[in-house]
Amino acid sequence: MTIETLVENPYIQAESGSEVSVPFDQAEFDANVMGTYGRFPIALDRGKGCRVWDTEGREYLDFVAGIATCTLGHAHPAMIEAVTRQIQKLHHVSNLYYIPEQGELAKWLIEHSCADRVFFCNSGAEANESAIKLARKYAHTVLDIEKPVILTAKASFHGRTLATITATGQSKYQKNFDPLVPGFHYVPYNDIKAVENAIADLDEGNQRVAAILLEALQGEGGVRPGELDYFLRLRKICDDTGILLMLDEVQVGMGRTGKYWGYENLGIEPDIFSSAKGLAGGIPIGAMLCKQFCDIFEPGEHASTFGGNPFVCAVALSVGQTLEQEDILQNVQQRGEQLRKRLRAIAVQYPELVAEVRGWGLINGMELAAETELTSIDFVKAAIAEGLLLVPAGPKVIRFVPPLIVSAEEIEQAAQVVERVMAASAS
């Protein structure tokens, strides 16, 4: 099958939901798949651009994008071409050998960030695990700390492995999984005094703070952007003490905020940062990136069987190059401003239902008023019934994370659905 055949395939290019290609039995699915997700009762079958169709042929405007993952939307020609070309050539080999595609992607990432070195893995959790391991080795071998501590923020989210749920400052993700991994301490987000106090309190005997791991914008914690002054002061503290500053860019990286990386909104550069989700537009990949001075892993100390294989790296490179060639960051900035303006107008119209609208680029949150009984889950369900896919970010925050190629017309269509749901909720 040629690239041209794939691009012209009517299944991929379908404009309507008339064709159903995947029979779906929910009872059979539930009988065979672990119930680790609270799923909404729709089964998605195909997509194009910012739209998806379910197995019954119904169309939805997708403002979830795999939770900030489908950077270029669905069935983008650049990704189809990259996938087809690479799968016909070489899809996987071991990191026992040099992988040219991995080197090309690493070079692109370094040229478009503050990093000097890249380690590839498969997910955001693995990327954060890599950062945690690197920070601990740096603490032992460079800072001479016997019991290193990593500061993380309350309401944060860093992954589902044991180390990353421990790093996550939300007890609901940790329940029943103890004993958790030692060496983490939580502070309130955007509170510099809390950081200073924690560093002072933990600096005793053979225990010291070795690193600080934060999101540039808290996603699961309610779409809460980092504050400029907080991160500027944080960078100075780390410079003065030798503490590593690590940023979790899993959700906000690769153009989601209107810049390549979330930290670019904060006027600082991290020592280490992680990426995943949007890096390959939905093909599983993770990356841990760092400055040269803390690139201290030696052969055999960290690895990943699938990490950085030719297939995922070729697709990720095509995503990055498309962001550049199609000037998508400008679209993110413009469409983000349009969306926030519309959502804030709705908030003014329904002050009894909406407390705040906040975000960067195309990661935005609408926080529901504490007084209303309306929850984010209620709102998302109502939006689905209107043909719009949204995702909660906590019990009272609705998250808007469409593909970065979203159009002005699609932003307006989504806003109109939000207005209808608000009107129905207020009545």
- Tens of pLDDT, residues 94-142: 999 999 999 999 999 999 999 999 999 999 999 999 999 999 999 999 9
Q: What pLDDT sits at residue 203?
A: 85
**Are 133 and 262 in the same domain?**
yes
Final residue belonging to a domain, choices 299, 325, 351? 325
CA dihedral in degrees (217, 218, 223, 224; nearest 10)?
-70
Report the CATH number at residue 252. Answer: 3.40.640.10
Number of structural domains in the chain: 2
* 53 contacts 13 by C-beta, under 8 angstroms: no
The answer, yes or no, to whether residue 292 has pLDDT greater than 70, is: yes
Asked whether residue 279 falls in the same domain as residue 416, the answer is no
Q: What is the CATH number of the domain that holds 55?
A: 3.90.1150.10
Residue 53 lies in a domain: yes
Residue 8 pLDDT exceeds 70: no
Q: Confirm whether 112 is domain-assigned.
A: yes
Among 189, 184, 273, 198, CA closest to 231: 189
- Give yes or no: residues 276 and 387 share one domain: no
What are 324-358's pLDDT values in tens digits? 999 999 999 999 999 999 999 999 999 999 999 99
pLDDT at 204: 78
Average pLDDT over residues 399-404: 98
Do 34 and 157 belong to one domain? no
What distance in Å separates the CA atoms of residue 214 and residue 247, rounded to the nearest whole number? 5
Q: Phi/psi at 46 (nearest 5 deg)?
A: -160, 165
CB 199 within 8 A of CB 243: yes
Residues 287, 402 within the same domain: no
Domain limits at 135?
81-325
Q: What percent of the chain has pLDDT over 70?
A: 95
Identify whether residues 130 and 249 lie together within a single domain.
Answer: yes
pLDDT digits (tens, 9 = 90+) for 171-208: 999 999 999 999 999 999 999 999 999 999 998 777 99
pLDDT score, position 110? 98
Same domain, 116 and 142: yes
Residues 246, 364, single domain; the answer is no
* 264, part of any domain: yes
Domain boundary among 290, 325, 360: 325
Q: Are residues 42 and 113 in the same domain?
A: no
Greatest CA separation for the chain: 68
Token pair 């071991």 is found at 94
* 307 and 202 fall within a common domain: yes
The 3-class SS string of the chain reads CCHHHHHHCHHHHCCCCCCCCCCCCHHHHHHHCCCCCCCCCCCEEEEEECEEEECCCCEEEECCHHHHCCCCCECCHHHHHHHHHHHCCCCCCCCCCCCHHHHHHHHHHHHCCCCCEEEEECCHHHHHHHHHHHHHHHHHHCCCCCEEEEEEEECCCCCCCHHHHHHCECHHHCCCCCCCCCCEEEECCCCHHHHHHHHHHHCECCEEEEEEEEECEECCCCCEECCHHHHHHHHHHHHHHCCEEEEECCCCCCCCCCCCCHHHHCCCCCCEEEECHHHHCCCCCEEEEECHHHCCCCCCCCCCCCCCCHHHHHHHHHHHHHHHHCCHHHHHHHHHHHHHHHHHHHHHHCCCCEEEEEEECCEEEEEECCCCCCCHHHHHHHHHHCCEECEECCCCEEEECCCCCCCHHHHHHHHHHHHHHHHHHHC
Instruction: List, in order, residues 6 or more apart from 38 with CB less than 8 Å away.
Output: none
In a domain? residue 204: yes
- Same domain assignment for residues 148 and 232: yes
pLDDT band, residue 2 (cuts 50/70/90): very low
pTM over 0.95: no
Average pLDDT over residues 256-268: 98
Is 266 contained in some domain? yes
213-228: per-residue pLDDT in tens?
999 999 999 999 999 9
Whether residue 318 is found in the same domain as residue 341: no
